[in-house]
Chain A
């Protein structure tokens, strides 16, 4: 039933792509979060009193009980490093000039963790449970992007 390919030059492949790109807008809660980060340099979360849970970044609704939430809780700027990973290769598998450290941080006052880079730790080994704080770019350089946060920096205490 299945024919063997007798002549390899008959095997045909068509190179191509799907010519699509996307414009992602941050949504109702995402916009409140990013505008506050830009304007005030603080991190906003959303508190659900019923579920006793504070989401970060801010959300429009509670995924546990479906209550409508506001971007109404300032969290951080310090928190606890809950996990980290060190990346030595990029998306294509190419080696990175300097490794990137990613941290999952539970900011003070929040239940959810925030993902960002961990900065300035090369002189000492990182440990889960370590206190860190958010480093935000200077006011004039902030544009309303998650990159307005430079990353987390270990602190004493």
Chain B
């Protein structure tokens, strides 16, 4: 039996009950479209976050107090570390040639008030090099001074400025943060969400002031920018070496690279995409049951035809083949429809929600076709075997149906 003939024969049978065929096809189409949409979302999110990380600069070392055994995300188990201090940060910049810039960080939240208005802000105590390291742009004024780590001055994020000083020039005005009074010296240009914190919601103050404001002795983090990516590994070793020496021979810090953080995020987001695809795949399974039902009904309706096929010399394998191809045709057509609908809906959503990252992964197309075809074949097996097992004598004895 020739493939072209099988396809034509199966197609003719399907046209015999168009409505039923269309519903089963629709089931597969919905399943495939939802897989495409959800994986597009997951993949888009992954690419977005990867892009954000890359824009931070791939030459960054992040020093975190405490030691973790696994090269994880952030240290979970700490071994009573020495404080990570401004002096440590300063020593890194001074003693390691490969390190171009260093910014210590201390982070906390506090209520900020200006006149009648107040809001909760994230306060970052840091130094001037943060401006270059995080590639921040000033909307007005200047950033933290390089030489006055204890000054009571602050730089506002764009939204903080908008909410505390709507329609006013905040430069030179006073903001109360906690119990302290800070003079505003600059405003950061709006930038939107970035990894870790929303920079528009942040207020930057000098690092020593920050430590005192939050009553801390240890830094939250030290960011160190290395001159070139090739020096990253050696600089990382040098950082560990310098801090071991400064902390009395104890290895009590963790140094993360952007690469390791990025890899961790990448793993999490791939798992997320896979989970979304898995949820959507359930609907494909349901669609498969729809196809199985379609084919079971078809086999029952065409009992006489199957008996006849056998009487005129169709082998059981040919009968199985005809019904499997029929099931696969429905599901593959559904797969094509679902692929088009999924990609189309994705593009439509992209038009409406410009910020939402939608990107169907490259494998989506071939996978949709392959999987939908496989669904038809898999769920077609039972009906096709039922057909092949029909006793031709009994089948032909039927007057109708």
The answer to whether A and B belong to the same complex is no
